[in-house]
């Protein structure tokens, strides 16, 4: 159990051996890693625990650099546990490299059915019993998908929770994947229009890039193909506080002059690859729609819902936009089958992803009756026009969870927890403690 010191913190590595399937505790085991962080000088103090669940799915926990970001506030009075959710980071990884050892696509898909919020919550409970004992309770902080997990935790294991804080992660309890994306495309369009109003010169620049990609086969430095659709998916960044500015700076010097005419620069292609590659988080793509699968809502599975629903919004068709002289719109947080053909990190998982898309009868992730009877204090930050999570769904869920208090704000975007330093976390702590 390694212990490290960073500026203002003491960090302890912890690894837990847990069942792949908690319904079969004697079966296959996996490792789940967590990083304990405590303020320097308080490492021997009796402090309440705060468990952090990262957004995703498929995102590893933050790698702290001392007392930074929201940890500045959390470490004032908590011992923090940063969990690498199963399959991510230092927890037994699930990638194209490791999954190949499991056998064919069907075997890989069966394995990955154990990587949703219900299994993550059971991991958390097993870890809590190890660290805190049966009587111990911890505060749960869930960001984005981590908030979805928090609702699952409140549904099925509230006995482990002292209080719950959710930022940008109040999922629709009865929303299917189709519902989610049908509500998402109009929000993404609004973010596009706001970006083009802020940077009107980007309208022509984006059209020029999209036309160039339509006319040529462009390969990224890592071997992936940059198609117009892949370029449009850079719109994922429009949901963060600084994303529009980052996108503008990426676009503004995309081309260089060469002896054969304008070409997309090496620097542009390298930066684009960093945004588009799923090499660091393949589970995000493979499991993304599965996080919305619930047998009581959509027993037939998710079936590439984002791709099917996109056809209802022709304004996102790049070829039609180019032909009609309209702005080319970026897309948002959607996963499509073509990604498993253009990204080398996903290509070996193409058949596995298809099987998961067709998987039926996903277990329910939320218990509305348990949430209606909730006794755990809960506070949630709801971002006014969150690009990733439908505000109307969030508010409906807030009303469905007994005692949940909301803070609705347009001061921050979806990344408010990180971008605000400790301000968002402090506000939620004061809400849940009844100070506001």
Say if CB 91 and CB 99 are below 8 A apart: no
386 is catalytic: yes
CA-to-CA distance for 393 and 405, rounded, in angstroms?
Answer: 15
User: Which residue of the set 386, 390, 393, 394 is catalytic?
Assistant: 386
Report the side by side order of strands in the sheet with 9-19.
Answer: 3-6, 9-19, 29-39, 79-83, 49-53, 138-143, 161-167, 378-383, 404-409
User: Which residue of the set 394, 414, 415, 420 is catalytic?
Assistant: 414
343 is catalytic: no
Say if CB 210 and CB 322 are below 8 A apart: yes
Say if CB 406 and CB 395 are below 8 A apart: yes
User: Which residue of the set 144, 176, 240, 277 is catalytic?
Assistant: 144
CA-to-CA distance for 338 and 347, rounded, in angstroms?
Answer: 10
123 is catalytic: no
Catalytic machinery residues: 144, 386, 414
């Amino acid at each position: 159990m390694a212990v490290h010191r960073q500026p203002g913190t003491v960090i302890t590595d912890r690894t837990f051996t847990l069942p792949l399937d908690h319904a079969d505790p004697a079966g296959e085991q996996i490792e789940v890693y967590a990083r304990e962080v405590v303020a320097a000088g308080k490492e021997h103090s009796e402090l309440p625990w705060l468990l952090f669940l990262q957004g995703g799915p498929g995102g590893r926990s933050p790698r702290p650099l001392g007392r930074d970001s929201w940890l500045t506030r959390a470490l004032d009075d908590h011992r923090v546990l940063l969990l690498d959710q199963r399959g991510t980071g230092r927890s037994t990884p699930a990638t194209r490299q490791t999954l190949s050892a499991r056998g064919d696509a069907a075997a890989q898909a069966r394995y990955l059915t154990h990587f949703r919020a219900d299994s993550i919550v059971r991991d958390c409970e097993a870890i809590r019993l190890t660290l805190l004992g049966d009587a111990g309770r911890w505060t749960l902080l869930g960001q984005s998908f981590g908030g979805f997990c928090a609702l699952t935790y409140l549904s099925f294991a509230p006995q482990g929770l002292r209080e719950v804080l959710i930022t940008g992660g109040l999922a629709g309890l009865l929303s299917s994947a189709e519902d989610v994306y049908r509500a998402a495309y109009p929000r993404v369009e609004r973010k596009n229009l706001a970006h083009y109003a802020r940077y009107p010169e980007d309208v022509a620049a984006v059209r020029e890039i999209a036309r160039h990609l339509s006319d040529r086969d462009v390969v990224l430095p890592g071997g992936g193909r940059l198609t117009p659709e892949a370029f449009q998916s850079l719109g994922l960044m429009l949901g963060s506080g600084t994303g529009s500015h980052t996108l503008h700076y990426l676009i503004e010097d995309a081309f260089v002059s060469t002896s054969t005419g304008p070409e997309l620069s090496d620097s542009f292609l390298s930066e684009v690859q960093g945004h588009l590659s799923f090499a660091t988080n393949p589970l995000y793509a493979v499991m993304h729609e599965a996080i919305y699968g619930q047998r009581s809502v959509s027993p037939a599975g998710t079936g590439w819902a984002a791709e099917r629903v996109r056809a209802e919004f022709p304004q996102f068709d790049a070829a039609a936009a180019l032909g009609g002289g309209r702005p080319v719109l970026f897309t948002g947080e959607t996963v499509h089958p073509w990604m498993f053909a253009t990204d080398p990190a996903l290509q070996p998982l193409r058949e596995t992803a298809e099987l998961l898309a067709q998987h039926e009868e996903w277990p329910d992730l939320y218990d509305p009756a348990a949430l209606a009877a909730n006794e755990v204090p809960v506070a949630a930050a709801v971002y006014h026009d969150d690009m990733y999570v439908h505000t109307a769904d969030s508010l409906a869920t807030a009303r469905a969870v007994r005692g949940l208090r909301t803070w609705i704000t347009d001061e921050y975007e979806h990344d408010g927890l990180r971008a605000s330093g400790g301000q968002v976390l402090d506000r939620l702590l004061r809400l849940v403690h009844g100070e506001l």
